[in-house]
Structure 1
Amino acid sequence: MKFKSLIAVILSLAAILFVLAFTLDWMGRPETLAPVGQPSSAAAEDAAKGADSPSGDVEASTAPSAKQSGPDDAKSSQLEGTSDKVEATRPSWNPQPTQTDERLELPEDPEKTASAMPSAEPRKPALSKAPKPGAAEGKLTKGFPKEAMPLPSSTTIERSSVEAQSSLVMVGVQGRSKQSVEEVLAFYEAHFKDLQWLASTSTDADGSTRLQAGFGQDTATVTLHQLPTGLTEINAAGVFKVED
């Protein structure tokens, strides 16, 4: 009996020593890392907690990532990168006013420095003195001012008149010429050109040619009409101011 009890005690002590050695050996070993692709124990615990919580997946999916960036962030970063390189440019037309010491100064005598217009020849008066008033048939009245209102050659006088009113003299003549309308018109145009008058030509409704000329208070009107006989009818009238 004593021998069996001794063996049992020895076996019990050996078992206790084996268990104690195994425990000490396990506690002294370092924690092994989980292989790639398998979660560690801490990650597994977090995943388990997220699975137990109903809102864990939603929060994890909706939480913004620090590494993600939108188009606005890309634009802002691009502008920040190029802001240092942008330089202000000035338009080519240079809006800045030029500062100069030059000033416009009037000449001491403007009349001497101003460009003078070429002096035109003074116009001679059409009448230097007033003729005697009167009227005549078939001829020119006595004192008729032919220098102011001439007649072309080969002209038959039908009637003429001269009237005076203050410093104005009014004359009129009617006749027929063997020259054509163009020839008579050229005759009067040359006459008014010598007087340095302004002249204009127009055509009346009956086909007559009207020539009007004048300067200042001096005016004249000549109407030409081609007759069936081939003659040119002349009706001339004028108003002239006498320059004493």
Structure 2
Amino acid sequence: MKFKSLIAVILSLVAILFVVAFTLDWMGRPEQPAPAGQQANAAAEDAAKGADSPSGDVEPSKAPSGKQSDTDDAKPSQPEGTSAKVEATRPSWNPQPTHTDERLELPEDPEKTASAMPSAEPRQPALSKAPKSGAVEGKLTKGFPKEAMPLPASTTIERSSVDTQSSLVMVGVQGRSKQSVEEVLAFYEEHFKDLQWLASTSTDADGNTRLQAGFGQDTATVTLHQLPTGLTEINAAGVFKVED
């Protein structure tokens, strides 16, 4: 009898030690996260509790850390149950169109409203009448058109000629001037400028200075050559059209 009682006491002690050891081992373990299903159920229960509360306030969930929170803050909040609509804005330089029936009408007399360009002065002809044909040495032939082909001062005339064919007059003159090449050239440039002719100057291979000018059917060529004596040799020729 005593032996059975001793065994019972020993078994009781072993059971007590086992319970104490299991309790200590359970308390020392880290807390394990609840399964996903339990978390979802817990969240649903929290939402239901918030809906049933008198104030209806629900504790907002914390935004996850990182770039997601920055993105959510940048987006404007939209009321629930409404879709986001993007309204195109019209630039300031393009006002709202006005639907009017006004039409652009031309003036009754465009010629009166248009600004007229100033008319250029008509060019005067180099020759107003045709001289008689002729050629002479040492002076100008009779009727030589000095207004169309003049000669500078201090010029000794060697020969001159005029050849009239219908409305065309061909003239030529050769002489020697005491003026320099530059002075004679400036004399003829000024003359052709007064006639409103286009003129150009060039230098030949032999060193002669050539001036060419013209307007329409009127043309003229003046060749200047510096002589060893210091004089300037002049050879001038032109073709002019007589305008009635």
TM-score range, shorter chain: 0.5 to 0.7
- Residues 136-185 of structure 1: per-residue CA shift (max 9 Å, x gap): 33332333211211111221222222223332211111111111222212
Q: 1:93 offset after TM fit, Å?
A: 5.8
Cα root mean square deviation, aligned: 4.1
Inter-partner Cα distance in structure 2 for 1:224 and 1:139: 19
Q: 1:86 offset after TM fit, Å?
A: 11
Question: Match for residue 38 of structure 1?
Answer: 27
Residues 83 and 38 of structure 1, relative CA distance in 2, 3 Å threshold: same
Inter-partner Cα distance in structure 2 for 1:86 and 1:202: 77
Question: Match for residue 122 of structure 1?
Answer: 122
Q: Does 1:193 align with 2:182?
A: no
Question: Match for residue 152 of structure 2?
Answer: 152
Inter-partner Cα distance in structure 1 for 2:123 and 2:147: 14
Q: Aligned runs of 1:1-244 on 2, under 5 Å? A: 38=27, 73-74=68-69, 77-78=72-73, 80-81=75-76, 90=89, 94-95=93-94, 98-99=97-98, 104-244=104-244
Higher Cα Rg: structure 1 or 2? 1
- Residues 2-34 of structure 1: per-residue CA shift (max 9 Å, x gap): xxxxxxxxxxxxxxxxxxxxxxxxxxxxxxxx9
Residues 112 and 141 of structure 1, relative CA distance in 2, 3 Å threshold: same
Q: Normalized against structure 2, the TM-score is what?
A: 0.61
Q: Note if contact 2:63-2:69 (Cα within 8 Å) is conserved in structure 1.
A: no
Inter-partner Cα distance in structure 1 for 2:225 and 2:110: 55
Q: In structure 2, list runs of 5 or more residues that go unmatched.
A: 1-22, 44-61
Aligned residues: 192
Q: In structure 1, list runs of 5 or more residues that go unmatched.
A: 1-33, 48-59
Opposite residue 27 of structure 2, the aligned amino acid is Q
Inter-partner Cα distance in structure 2 for 1:196 and 1:241: 15
